[in-house]
Amino acid sequence: MKPANTSYRTKFIFITGGVLSSLGKGLAAASIGALLESRGLTVTFQKLDPYINVDPGTMNPFQHGEVYVTDDGAECDLDMGHYERYTNAVMAQKNNYTSGRIYYSVITKERRGEYLGGTVQVIPHITDEIKNAILQMDGSVDFAIIEIGGTIGDIESLPFLEAIRQFRFDRGRQNTLFIHVTLVPYIKTAGEVKTKPTQHSVKELRAIGIQPDILLCRTEKNLTSELKAKIALFCNVPTDAVITARDVKSIYEVPVHFHREGLDDKILELLNVWTGAPRIEPWEELMHRIQHPAHRVTIGIIGKYVELTESYKSLHEALVHGGLANDARVDLRYVSAEDLEARDDVGELLAGCQGILVPGGFGERGVRGKIKAISFAREQKIPFFGICLGMQLAVVEFARSIAGMNDANSTEFDLTTGHPVIYLMKEWFDYRTGQIQVRDEKSDKGGTLRLGSYPCQLAPSTLALAAYQQEEIFERHRHRYEFNPEFRQALTDKGLIISGTSPDNTLAEIVELADHPWFLGCQFHPEFKSKPMKPHPLFREFVRAALQHAGSS
Ligand code: GLN
């Protein structure tokens, strides 16, 4: 091992996962980030995903969960959402790499002749490309937390593991740390927790040259000191580096639990970093508020992926945050849009929902059911929040029911409609890139979305302005279709309020209804910017309206 170089600013923490997936590596990474920030240190993150897709933009949410969107328009893994929710770190394209993206770049270089006729191999070419990706995190922060997707033992993740093994060799022990998240299952029939899977997983890691420094053991029960000692002995780590990561009710309890287990102290000790005492109180206070809400409210989410809440991760969290801002627990009821479509008793399916939310989505499945739910919310004066597709369908519903445009539709679903109130702009000015974008219905699916952060100007005396309390806001987009300006006059004449527009007033970004307690649809995805410590204004106000509705009904 080379001598430790103390001149580097950034220390790298690598997080791997063992035994099985879904152990909450992303949340562990985010929580570690939160704990380091609570000591005044700066952090950033990177997620390295072993799959071959270049990004998850085109992946089915059923399989992969939500596609998270950053300010700079990256379509990325949902763990990036956890990182941003728990810390001040701002995620971007460079914070998420897949094997596909790494290989793509190496192959592109090879085609350009950059390897000068050499044989291009996994080691060193792919591993160097991975290390260069990781090194983009170098220098600007105190800690870079790098999460390796997948599970130890997968063939796909080997190049990433080899790259981080080399990384420690390059940078030395004082600058790198390996944390392994593993499972210590409780076996009912034996009445005890078992350490064997952890032993095997660590053995596997060591076989490829990585000795973990800290083990985060996911478990139902607290690990006794005897058990920790046993794991320590078999896995070759100090006993105080075996950390219990107990199942908790709310994901926002994790930083506090980790802190109580001494995780942040251990990390700093191993990396030889001295800091002041952590300010853990805000997380303790948050935990208290989550555990003791004064109110309760039920929100109905009308969706396509109702079976899999991972598909609506950020949305789910933003609603929890909206509840926190109102001292309320938010119970989410996922209602299948297709069930609504098939049945006449919309009221029965939505009974007990004090607020109705139609989230973003692609494709025609369930659209009629979503429109039914919107009619119901509008007529029954139940607080309504439409996001992206939800906003577009609110416009369609209004055009059909109030403005007499019976065949109104989005051209995503009907190309021949006489009233294309939502349409595909063939040419539009992309503020972020400063370029005119051109496309039509036949364009590629990739690269034709409006993606990332865009400014929006809010109109006076609107729900939107009342929520945000500022005239210019920035929100993240991920959609192809837009409100058609040709119908703006006709619809506003009938009472539709356009409360947010692009700064040049061409794109309608937020719509509202007067004569309704709270009815708002936005073209962007506000859920990506909500944090437990800083609930998003629209979610805060939506939940408040739902609570008022609960109180009045
Ligand atoms: N399918 C719609 C569009 O492409 C809405 C997308 C979304 O809800 N994210 O514009």
CA 534 – ligand 1 centroid, Å? 26
Q: Indicate the top mutation candidate among 481, 507, 528 to test ligand 1's pocket, ranked by most ligand atoms within 8 A of CB.
A: 481
Q: Which pLDDT score is estimated for 3?
A: 47
Write out pLDDT tens, residues 409-449.
999 999 999 999 999 987 777 766 777 777 766 665 555 78
The residue whose CA has the least distance to atom 8 of ligand 1 is 360
The number of beta carbons lying within 10 Å of the beta carbon of residue 4 is 14
> If pLDDT is split at 50, 70 and 90, which confidence band does 2 have?
very low
In-domain check, residue 3:
no
Spatial distance between the Cα atoms of 473 and 288, rounded to a whole number of angstroms: 31
**pLDDT tens figures, 441-473:** 666 555 578 899 999 999 999 999 999 999 999
18: pLDDT confidence band, cut at 50, 70 and 90? confident
Instruction: Specify the 3-state DSSP secondary structure of 451.
Output: strand
Mean pLDDT of 166-174: 94
**Is 172:143 a contact under the CB 8 Å cutoff?**
no
- Give the count of alpha carbons within 13 A of 548, CB side only: 13
Residue 5 lies in a domain: no
Q: Which atom of ligand 1 is nearest to the CA of 362?
A: 1
Residue 436, pLDDT score: 76
Nearest CA to ligand 1 atom 1: 362
Which of 253, 286, 319 is the last residue before a domain boundary? 286
Last residue of a domain, one of 261, 286, 311: 286
Structural domain tally of the chain?
Answer: 2
Condensed to tens digits (0 to 9), the pLDDT of residues 64-112 reads: 678 899 999 988 888 999 999 999 999 999 999 999 999 999 999 999 9
Residue ranges making up the domain that contains 165: 11-286
DSSP character at residue 3: P
* Same-domain pairing of 464 and 536: yes
Cα 327 to averaged position of ligand 1 atoms, centre (Å):
32
Q: How far is the CA of 128 from the centre of ligand 1 (A)?
A: 38
- Mutate which of 396, 443, 478 for ligand 1? The one with the most ligand atoms within 8 Å of its CB, which is 478
From 504, 535, 495, 541, select the one nearest 522 (Cα to Cα). 541
Write the DSSP assignment of 392-420 as a string of letters: HHHHHHHHHHTS--TT-EETTT-TT-S-E
Tell me which of 286, 318, 340 is where a domain ends. Answer: 286
Q: Which atom of ligand 1 is nearest to the CA of 387?
A: 8
Q: Is residue 6 part of a domain?
A: no
The CA 92 to ligand 1 mean position distance, Å, reads 21
19 has a pLDDT exceeding 90: no
Tell whether 414 and 394 lie within a shared domain: yes
Which pLDDT score is estimated for 447? 57
Pocket (CB within 6 angstroms of ligand 1): 360-362, 388-389, 412, 478-481
Q: What is the CATH number of the domain that holds 110?
A: 3.40.50.300
Mean pLDDT of all residues belonging to the chain:
91
The answer to whether residues 198 and 339 belong to one domain is no
CA nearest 399: which of 488, 515, 316?
A: 488
Mean pLDDT throughout 38-45? 96
Q: Are residues 73 and 164 in the same domain?
A: yes
Same domain, yes or no, for 381 and 528? yes
The confidence score (pLDDT) of residue 425 equals: 82
Q: Is residue 409 part of a domain?
A: yes
Residue 196 tokens, joined: 């064997």
CB 238 within 8 A of CB 232: yes
Distance from Cα 197 to the centre of ligand 1, integer Å: 43
- Residue 474 is part of a domain; what is its CATH number? 3.40.50.880
Q: Which of 425, 479, 525 to mutate to test the pocket of ligand 1 (most atoms within 8 A of CB)?
A: 479
Q: CA angle 222-227-233, nearest 5°?
A: 140
CA-nearest residue for atom 5, ligand 1, is 389
Write out pLDDT tens, residues 309-359. 678 889 999 999 999 999 999 999 999 999 998 888 889 999 999 999 999
- Say whether pLDDT at 369 is over 50: yes
Instruction: State the amino acid at position 92 in one-letter form.
Output: A
DSSP-based three-state secondary structure for 521: strand
Residue 264: inside a domain, yes or no?
yes
Closest ligand 1 atom to residue 360 Cα is 8
Alpha carbons 342 and 353: distance in angstroms, whole number: 19
In a shared domain, residues 275 and 327: no
Q: Which of 57-61, 186-190, 362-366, 396-400 has the lowest mean pLDDT?
A: 57-61
Count the alpha carbons within 13 Å of 431 in the hemisphere toward its beta carbon: 19
Between CA 445 and CA 435 the distance in angstroms is 19
Q: Work out the percent of the chain whose per-residue pLDDT is above 70.
A: 94
Q: Is 337 within 8 Å of 302 (Cβ atoms)? A: yes
Catalytic positions are: 388, 525, 527
Residue 204 identity (one-letter amino acid): E
Per-residue exposure over 262-295, b if at least 16 CB sit within 10 Å of its own CB, e if not: ebbebbbebbeeeeeebebeebeebbebbeeeee
Residue 1 above 50 pLDDT? Answer: no
Q: Give the whole-angstrom CA distance, residue 547 versus residue 323.
A: 9
395 in a structural domain: yes
| Pairing relationship of beta strands 242-246 and 214-219 according to DSSP bridges | parallel
The residue among 398 and 427 whose pLDDT is bigger is 398
Residue 186: inside a domain: yes
Residue 159 lies in a domain: yes
**119 and 158: one domain?**
yes
Q: Measure Cα distances from 23 to 196, 290, 308 in Å.
A: 16, 22, 17
C-alpha span between 264 and 485 (Å, rounded): 53
